[in-house]
Amino acid sequence: MARVLVTETIAESGLQALRDAGHEVDIQTGLSPEALLEAIVGAHALIIRSATQVDAATLEAGTDLVVVGRAGIGLDNVDVAKATDLGVMVVNAPVSNILSAAEQTMALILAQARNIPQAHSALKNGKWERSKWEGVELHGKTLGVIGLGKIGALVAQRAMAFGMHLVAYDPYITDERARHMGIEKMSLDDLLARADFITIHLPKTKETTNLLNAESLAKCKPGVRIVNVARGGIINEADLAASILSGHVQGAALDVFEKEPTTESPLFALPSVVVVPHLGASTVEAQDKAGIAIAEQVELALAGDFVPFAVNVAAGEVSNTVRPFMGLAEVLGRFIGGLLDGQPADLEVIYQGDLAGTGTKILTLCALKGLLVATGHGSASFVNAPQLAADHNITFGEISTLESPEYVNVITVRSGQHAVSGTLMTIGSRVETRIVAVDDHSVEIPPAASMLVVRNNDKPGMIGHVGMALGEAGISITAMAVGPDKQAGTALMVLSTSTPTPVEVVERLRANEGILGIHVIALR
């Protein structure tokens, strides 16, 4: 059971899922930064939304932290770099509110085009002002989408239904994909010059902060209307207000602000500006999705499993083809760590068969994590394994080939002078893990928590000698495979044992002149 600290309001459905998994859910909302430093002590997981600031001091105070979960998309309130250094996984729920955010964007585009909030307010104050709040149609206008990710693409689809012409700026989207979506891709300057409406769908980073400022706003088409449902600070609010006052920008609609919460901005006094208090994800559906999604991610992280939405795990997308092999890859990494007797070395992972070219980066990361754990780095995780490897001058890489002579798929892990291979085998309706080669000796044995690898002269009596030594120590052999090497005149025994083999038994075996090498393997 882990303690999950929740500092902001999360959908009850998500919290109940964590309770059902056996975790303690500790809800403490409205904490000051000082109170958070106290509350984080002893917590294994922290779940937040956008208000809680998870800075370096907070992460350092949370010495038991495994994961920080953000119930939403943006992570500008989390020090992700520091979390990575500390081996703390950071996860979010990137698809939970995309529909809500896209619909909010369209609502603000329409509100800006037709002056709906202003006319509403005037009428409720006893003023019938039809001519004053004359608007414009969306049909035939050009919408410039800055950031064509999931939300930007949904906005583009919806704007198309209004008869708008779509142009977009996104350096990470290919021209072909944009054309397939019916969107003309162009530079940011060209978009600013052509768009009648501009909508922003970018994360807040060093590069995007202050993206729309006095200089870039001056490049906009006169009379442009600007909408931001992404992150505050991407638009310089003072510069935007000045551009509206000058008449160059017709108006704006903002859901987010440089500082939140806020009740002050130079934009609030301008009649052509529509503002709402960060409501992009504020729908019943989005909150339920975010709560459930973040609970699932946190639960996976606490279990030590791979988390699909971990933002600081360098693994990329994980396909359904690759996912079943993750456990095998980590087992092979741990196994070879045992062969190295606690001394890690450079790692190479070889993929043969159908796995080749299917996005195996996560499998290499699993193998690296396993190697590091088995060689004394118990804190190694999906998050910090690459940095730990770099700190210890360990390189790692992978090779893929479609050729696999004996099995459909084989993963081979090489490190130092050792190598171990494994595969997944279908036996009836079951899929089982098998180690199929150790140091170029063919064997076939299921991995077990405690194993022993013995390399010996290939002569009669060696198996009996090993079995007798283990039996006298009260250790049962639960499985065994032998791989002879006729050319070298040696053999390799790989044994699964009921309990770990004690040091004194290992030394007794090692004293036999027929035994050339012995390694204790711990896979859990």
pLDDT tens across 209-228, in order? 999 999 999 999 999 999 99
- Whether cis (ω within 30° of 0) applies to the bond prior to 261 is yes
Is the domain of 62 the same as that of 150?
no
* Region 292-320 average pLDDT: 84
Q: pLDDT by residue (tens digit) across 61-79?
A: 999 999 999 998 888 899 9
- In angstroms, what is the C-alpha Rg of the chain? 30
Same domain, 494 and 434: no
Question: Are 18 and 167 part of one and the same domain?
Answer: no
Name every residue whose Cβ is closer than 8 Å to that of residue 428 and which is 6 or more positions away in sequence.
none
How is residue 513 written in tokens? Answer: 């002149």
Confidence of residue 382 (pLDDT cuts 50, 70, 90): confident
Which of 70, 201, 231, 418 is catalytic? The answer is: 231
Is the model's pLDDT at 87 over the cut of 90?
A: no
Digit-coded pLDDT (tens) for 194-211: 999 999 999 888 999 999
Give the tokens for residue 237: 């609010």
Direct distance between the N- and C-terminal alpha carbons of the chain, in angstroms, rounded to an integer? 19
**452-470, pLDDT tens digit by residue?**
999 999 999 999 999 999 9
Structural domain that includes position 75: 3-95+285-302
Tell me the pLDDT of the chain averaged across its residues: 93
Nearest CA to 110 among 102, 260, 182?
102
Residues 238, 209 contacting (CB under 8 angstroms): no
Among 60, 184, 260, 444, the active-site one is 260
Contact assessment for residue 242 and residue 214, using Cβ atoms and an 8 Å cutoff: yes
Nearest Cα residue to 447 out of 428, 462, 425: 425
260 in catalytic set: yes
453 and 319 in a common domain:
no
User: Burial code of 273-311, b = ≥16 C-beta within 10 A, e = fewer?
Assistant: bbbbebebbebeebbebbbbbbbbbbbbbbeeebbbbbb
Distance in angstroms (rounded) separating the CA atoms of residues 201 and 486:
65
Catalytic member of 70, 278, 377, 418: 278
Is 444 inside a domain boundary? no
Query: What's the whole-number mean pLDDT along residues 32-54?
Result: 96
What's the CATH code of the domain at 380? 3.30.1330.90
**Average of pLDDT values for 228-249?**
97
Closest CA to 417 of 439, 392, 398: 439
Indicate which CATH number applies to the domain containing 523. 3.30.70.260
Domain membership of residue 308 (yes or no) is: no
Nearest Cα neighbor of 230 from 198, 262, 186 is: 198
pLDDT in tens, 325-369: 999 999 999 999 999 988 889 999 999 998 887 889 899 999 999
Based on the fold, state whether residues 257 and 370 are members of the same structural domain: no
Cα dihedral 400/405/407/413 (nearest 10): -40
pLDDT tens for 240-289 read 999 999 999 999 999 999 998 899 999 999 999 999 999 998 999 998 99
| Structure confidence at residue 275 (pLDDT) | 98
Same domain, 509 and 361: no
Residues 507 and 471 in one domain: yes
Structure tokens at 87: 């081996």
Query: Residue 337: what are its φ and ψ, rounded to 5°?
Result: -60, -40
Per the structure, the count of domains in the chain is 4
Under DSSP, the state recorded for 170 is -
Q: How many residues does the chain have?
A: 524
Question: What is the pTM for the complete model shown?
Answer: 0.68
Q: Which residue has the tokens 């294994």?
A: 44
User: Does some domain include residue 362?
Assistant: yes
Q: Would you say residue 126 has pLDDT above 90? A: yes
Of 421, 439, 457, which one is at a domain's C-terminal end?
439
Q: What is the pLDDT of residue 308?
A: 80
Is residue 65 domain-resident? yes
Q: Is residue 11 part of a domain?
A: yes
- Among the three residues 416, 439, 462, which one is the final residue of a domain in this structure? 439
pLDDT at 416 over 80: yes
239 located within any domain: yes
Determine the 3-state secondary structure of 348 from DSSP.
strand
C-alpha–C-alpha distance, residues 447 and 390, integer Å: 29
CATH code of the domain covering residue 134: 3.40.50.720
What is the reported pLDDT for 487? Answer: 84
Quick one: pLDDT band at residue 20, thresholds 50, 70, 90? very high
pLDDT band at 317 (very low <50, low <70, confident <90, very high): low
Answer yes or no: do 171 and 189 share one domain: yes
201 is catalytic: no
Identify the pLDDT of residue 59. Answer: 97
Residues 347 and 358 in one domain: yes
Q: Looking at the structure, do residues 339 and 434 belong to the same domain, yes or no?
A: yes
pLDDT at 304 over 80: no
Classify residue 375: in a domain, yes or no: yes
Residue 344: inside a domain, yes or no? Answer: yes
Same domain, 88 and 167: no
268 and 177: one domain?
Answer: yes
Task: Give the pLDDT confidence score for residue 316 in this predicted structure.
Answer: 62
CA–CA–CA angle 80, 82, 83 (5° rounding) = 60
Active site residue 49: no
